[in-house]
């Protein structure tokens, strides 16, 4: 049997991903290789209030402290980190796609993009997978061989309908597991389509777990959507199947049905946006019909500019 590290197909796939993601991002980001999160490093970021028992006094910003008469520490952009963890949703709904890609491909690409960018500074990376109601853990490692093994693990996960009929763990339980088992502070990346979010009010089952993780870690959420999930074509009678539960239903796509569907989809996406905003996480939306590498680059550039503006306009922070 060929091991993941020597499988030429996986090596070729990783090489293509590296060329598509890292090389393109290098050009789009003009050669800047700042870390994607704050942490131990050497490049100064913004000052913030000192948290007793949480912050290292060696990071105290004495100039800002003297100006404001309040203890401040200065974060720095990470040039090295020990571990980052990704929660990748591999539920049956992630196998859907109607245009250039299926959602799973974009989700895996986003995970690899973040991993490759952080790996440039020798990070260790681990992953949790939510697949058919089961939470699976992949240990933190570093290097290309580890990344090949991670890709092999994802590639081995079966696609298609969930034989459990939607039973087992959901996104909320997967987030709880991630928060409970990975306590060391760092970067957490959550990649999902969030289709289990209610459209018109109701409790968002995963919001509380997301908020708890965000209170301790820096969290990047990647929401993956397909345009057909936002609007339906005018094609008459269709048979629709829920990939999670396996239920099948015949539907006539009249104008009224399409309008109600569009309103529900819009409301669901808004619920996701508001829940993530309340949780205090960074939110990136990737679509199967767009250039997701370009969208990642634009997101990173926007985050850098926002952090720079905040550091310039924070009271008491030297300009």
pLDDT at 251: 86
Cβ atoms of residues 144 and 14 within 8 Å: yes
Average pLDDT over residues 285-295: 91
Which one, of 264, 109, 127, 126, lies nearest residue 195 by Cα? 264
Residue 298 maps to a domain: no
DSSP state letters, 80-133? --SEEEEEEE--GGGG--SSS--HHHHHHHHHHHHHHHHHTTT-EEEEEEEETT
Residue 311 maps to a domain: no
Confidence of residue 114 (pLDDT cuts 50, 70, 90): confident
Distance CA(64)–CA(287), nearest Å, equals 42
Residue 232 maps to a domain: yes
pLDDT at 115: 81
b/e burial code for range 103-129 (CB count within 10 A of at least 16 → b): bbbbbbbbbbbbbbbbbeeebbbbbbb
- Residue appearing with tokens 């763990």: 169
Cβ atoms of residues 292 and 106 within 8 Å: yes
Residue 75 maps to a domain: no
pLDDT at 118: 66
Residue 119 maps to a domain: yes
* CATH number of the domain encompassing residue 284: 3.40.50.410
pLDDT at 69: 83
pLDDT at 262: 93
DSSP state letters, 135-188? EEEEEEE-SHHHHHHHHHHHHHS--SS-TTSS-S--HHHHHHHHHHH--S-SEE
Residue 307 maps to a domain: no
pLDDT at 239: 85
Please tell me the pTM assigned to this model.
0.76
The whole domain housing 160 covers 82-292
Is the confidence at residue 298, as pLDDT, over 90?
no
Residue 302 maps to a domain: no
Cβ atoms of residues 257 and 267 within 8 Å: no
Summarize pLDDT for 8-66 with one digit per residue, the tens.
Answer: 665 666 666 665 666 666 666 554 444 444 444 444 555 678 778 767 777 788 888 88
Q: What is the tally of helices (H) and strands (E) in the chain?
A: 9, 10
Is the confidence at residue 126, as pLDDT, over 80?
yes
Residue 288 maps to a domain: yes
Confidence of residue 267 (pLDDT cuts 50, 70, 90): very high
The domain tally of the chain equals 1
Distance CA(73)–CA(50), nearest Å, equals 5
């Amino acid at each position: 049997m060929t091991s993941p590290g020597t499988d030429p197909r996986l090596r070729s796939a990783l090489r293509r991903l590296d060329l598509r993601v890292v090389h393109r991002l290098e050009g789009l980001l003009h050669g800047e290789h700042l870390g994607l999160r704050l942490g131990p490093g050497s490049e100064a970021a913004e000052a913030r209030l000192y948290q007793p028992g949480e912050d290292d006094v060696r990071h105290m910003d004495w100039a800002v402290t003297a100006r404001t008469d309040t203890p401040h520490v200065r974060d720095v952009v990470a040039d090295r980190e020990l571990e980052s963890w990704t929660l990748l949703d591999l539920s049956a709904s992630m196998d859907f796609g109607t245009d250039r890609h299926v959602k799973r491909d974009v989700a895996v690409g986003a995970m690899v993009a973040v991993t490759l960018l952080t790996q440039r500074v020798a990070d260790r990376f681990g992953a949790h997978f939510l697949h058919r109601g089961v939470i699976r853990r992949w240990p933190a490692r570093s290097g290309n061989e580890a990344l090949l093994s991670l890709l092999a693990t994802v590639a081995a996960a079966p696609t298609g309908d969930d034989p459990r009929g939607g039973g087992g763990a959901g996104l909320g339980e997967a987030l709880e597991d991630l928060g409970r088992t990975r306590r060391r502070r760092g970067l957490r990346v959550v990649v999902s389509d969030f289709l289990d979010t209610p459209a018109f009010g109701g409790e968002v089952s995963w919001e509380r777990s997301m908020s708890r993780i965000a209170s301790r870690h820096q969290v990047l959420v990647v929401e993956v959507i397909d345009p057909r999930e936002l609007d339906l074509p005018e094609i008459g009678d269709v048979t629709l199947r829920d990939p999670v539960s396996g239920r099948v239903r015949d539907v006539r796509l009249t104008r009224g049905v399409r309008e109600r569907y569009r309103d529900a989809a819009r409301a669901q996406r808004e619920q996701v946006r508001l829940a993530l905003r309340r949780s205090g996480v960074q939110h990136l939306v990737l679509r199967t019909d767009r250039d997701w590498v370009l969208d990642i680059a634009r997101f990173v550039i926007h985050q850098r500019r926002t952090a720079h503006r905040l550091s310039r306009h924070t009271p008491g922070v030297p300009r």
